[in-house]
Amino acid sequence: MSLRSPIPGQAHHKVKREESSFLGKLGGTLARKKKAKEVSDLQEEGKNAINSPMSPSPIDINPEDTLLEENEERTMIDPNSKEGTKFKELVKVLIDWINEVLVEERIIVKSLEEDLYDGQVLQKLLEKLACRKLNVAEVTQSEIGQKQKLQTVLETVNDLLRPHGWTIKWNVDSIHGKNLVAILHLLVALAMHFRAPIRLPEHATVQVVVVRKREGLLQTAHVTEELTTTTEMMMGRFERDAFDTLFDHAPDKLSVVKKSLITFVNKHLNKLNLEVTELETQFADGVYLVLLMGLLEDYFVPLYNFYLTPENFEQKVHNVSFAFELMQDGGLKKPKARPEDIVNLDLKSTLRVLYNLFTKYKNFE
C-alpha cells in the first residue's frame, strides 16, 4: 500500500475522515505487529540464551519453553546427551522390562515419554508389580481424568518408596508433561524396589538445561542429572545387615570371614577337583554355586539344567537363578541378593549367599 499526498481542493473534513480511518487501521496493524514481535523477541531471547557461547552446545527448543512467567523455570534434556551410551542403554533396558512385565496385557511400550504420560501404562505396571488393584478409571481421555489417575498411581508409588529412603523426583505435572528425566527417576526406583531381573547401567547421567526467568530475563544453567548410581548403593536403600557393618567399619574382620568361607566351599568343591581362591569372581557365572548345592544336598545336577560354560550375561543369570532355586528346595529362604548382583561381581551379595550356606551346612561332611 502506497501513501499519496492530499489533492489540493478537497474538503477539509473529508481529509480528516480519511486520515482518521487510515490511522485507525494503521494503529491496529501496528499493535498486532508489536504484539507478534514481542512474542517473537521473547522466543528468540530464549533460543539465544540457550544457544549462547556459554552453553556447551546449541539446544533446539520448543518456543513454548521460553514463554515463562516471572520466577518460573523449565527443564529439558540436551539432545546431544540423549546419544550417550549409558543413557540409551538405560532407556532400552527399562522399555524392555516394562514390555516383559506387561506381556500378558498385550501392551507394547515404544516411547517412555509418549506411552507413560497419561498414567495408563504406569497403572498396569504398578498393579502387576505390587499384585494389587488400583481404584482408578481404566480409560481416561481428558487431561483432568489422566491427571487424576496419575495422582492415584503416584501416591501409591510414593507410599511404597518413601519408607525406604527414596527421594521423590517426580510429580503429576512432570510425568504428564512428558518430562523424561522424571519418568526415568520413577522407573529406576520401581525397578530397584521390586528387584527387577534386569541390569541397569551404573552411573548413567544426562545433561539437563534449566531455563529460569528472573526480573524479566531468561537465565540458563547446565546441570548433570544422575539417573543411576551403583547397583549396591541403590539396593542398599532397603536393607542393612551385618555385612554392611563389616564392609563399613571392620575391613580387617572381613578378610577373616572371606577366609572362612573359602575354606568351607573348598572343603566340598575339592571333591570335584575344583578350588576357589577368589570369592568375588569365581561364583559370578553360577557354575560353582550349582555344583556346590549338589554336593551339599548330595545329588547330581543334570548338565542340561544349567550352562557349564556360560557365554553371556543371560546364561550366567540363568545359572545363579537355578542355584537359588536349589537353595530354596533345600529349605533355605530366598536369597536377598539378586542373581544379577552375583553376576555383576557384587562381593557383598556373594558373601551373603555363601554365608547362608555356611550357616546351614558348616557341620556337613
> Which pLDDT score is estimated for 150?
92
For the chain, how far is it from start to end, CA to CA, in angstroms?
105
Query: Which pairs from 149-157 meet CB under 8 Å and 24+ separation?
Result: 149/118, 149/119, 149/120, 149/123, 150/118, 150/119, 150/122, 150/175, 150/176, 153/119, 153/122, 153/123, 153/126, 154/186, 156/126, 156/130, 157/126, 157/186, 157/189, 157/190
Which secondary-structure segment (H or E) carries 224?
A: strand 217-226
> Which pLDDT score is estimated for 16?
46
- Asked if 242 and 336 touch (Cβ cutoff 8 Å), the reply is no
pLDDT along the chain (365 residues), means of 10: 44 46 47 50 48 43 60 80 90 93 89 92 90 80 88 91 81 91 93 82 87 80 85 56 56 77 91 90 93 91 91 90 90 80 84 86 69
> Which pLDDT score is estimated for 235?
58
> Which pLDDT score is estimated for 4?
43
Q: Among residues 301, 296, 306, 300, which one has the least CA distance to residue 357?
A: 296
Helix extents (H) in the chain: 12-50, 85-101, 112-116, 120-130, 143-161, 172-176, 180-193, 231-235, 242-249, 251-269, 279-282, 287-297, 313-329, 339-343, 347-361
Burial of 355 (0-12, 13-18, 19+ CB in 10 A): middle
CB atoms within 10 A of CB 190: 23
Q: In degrees rounded to 5, what are phi and psi of residue 53?
A: -60, -20
Which cell is 122 given? 504406569
Q: In whole angstroms, what is the distance from residue 263 CA to residue 255 CA?
A: 12
Q: In whole angstroms, what is the distance from residue 213 CA to residue 293 CA?
A: 63
User: What single-letter amino acid sits at 350?
Assistant: T
> Which pLDDT score is estimated for 244?
57
3-class SS letters over 173-219: HHHHCCCHHHHHHHHHHHHHHCCCCCCCCCCCEEEEEEEEEECCEEE
> Which pLDDT score is estimated for 22?
42
